[in-house]
């Protein structure tokens, strides 16, 4: 039986599950440094409190059969970039390799099309994160460019791949 995958607003009672999956160095190695490591229950509660204030909703929980599997969201750009949104997501390691991120991104694209007046979506992916690049490709994104030596993560200088989807 196929898993039931949904995006929904974060709730305070999700904090323990979020902290449990997010406190993983393998996840931290693929996200920006403002993502805490170790990831504590307080970090989860602070994040959830932040998301609850958002209007419109910008960050959501990814659930699989009712359980927290990860997080997905958008970052609206401003000024001359106001027709662009950056997307980002992560899944708990137990959910990797099962097609869940691909479905979650597809659900996010549906949400974006109904809630935002944008033309350009993009994601910035560290060079070693080929699984995330496959998720984006399956959702109609294309590799726009590779920014050479543009990221330093865990004291490693690396390339950043920019994946883009035009909505016109």
> How do the pLDDT tens digits run along the chain, 168 residues long?
788 999 999 999 999 999 999 999 999 999 999 999 999 999 999 999 999 999 999 999 999 999 999 999 999 999 999 999 999 999 999 999 999 999 999 999 999 999 999 999 999 999 999 999 999 999 999 999 999 999 999 999 999 999 999 997
Q: Is residue 155 part of a domain?
A: no
Asked if residue 143 is part of any domain, the answer here is no
CATH (domain of 24): 3.40.630.30
Four-residue CA torsion sign, 78, 106, 19, 159: negative
Does residue 65 lie within any of the structural domains? yes
Q: Is 140 part of any domain?
A: no
Q: Is residue 157 part of a domain?
A: no
pTM: predicted TM-score of the whole model, two decimal places: 0.96
Query: Which domain, by its residues, includes 33?
Result: 5-119
Q: What local confidence, expressed as pLDDT, does residue 148 receive?
A: 98
Q: Residue 26 falls within a domain, yes or no?
A: yes
How far is Cα 119 from Cα 102, in angstroms, rounded to an integer? 21
Distance between CA atoms of residues 121 and 4, nearest Å: 25
Kindly state whether residue 16 falls inside one of the protein's structural domains. Answer: yes
Question: What's the domain count of the chain?
Answer: 1
Examine residue 11 and state whether it is found in any structural domain, yes or no: yes
SS3 content of the chain, % helix, strand, coil (to 5): 35, 35, 30
* C-alpha–C-alpha distance, residues 36 and 55, integer Å: 24
């Amino acid at each position: 039986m196929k898993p039931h995958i949904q995006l929904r607003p974060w709730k305070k009672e999700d904090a323990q599950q979020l902290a449990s999956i997010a406190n993983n160095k393998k996840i931290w190695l693929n996200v920006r440094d403002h993502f805490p490591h170790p990831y504590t229950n307080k970090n989860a509660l602070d994040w959830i409190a932040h998301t609850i204030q958002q209007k419109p909703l910008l960050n959501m929980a990814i659930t699989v059969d009712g359980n927290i599997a990860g997080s997905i969201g958008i970052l609206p750009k401003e000024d001359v970039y106001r027709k662009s949104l950056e997307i980002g997501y992560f899944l708990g390691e137990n959910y990797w390799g099962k097609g869940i991120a691909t479905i979650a991104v597809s659900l996010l694209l549906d949400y974006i099309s109904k809630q935002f007046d944008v033309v350009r979506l993009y994601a910035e992916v560290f060079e070693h994160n080929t699984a995330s690049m496959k998720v984006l490709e399956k959702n109609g994104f294309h590799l726009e460019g590779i920014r050479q030596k543009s990221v330093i993560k865990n004291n490693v200088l690396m390339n950043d791949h920019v994946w883009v989807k035009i909505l016109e």
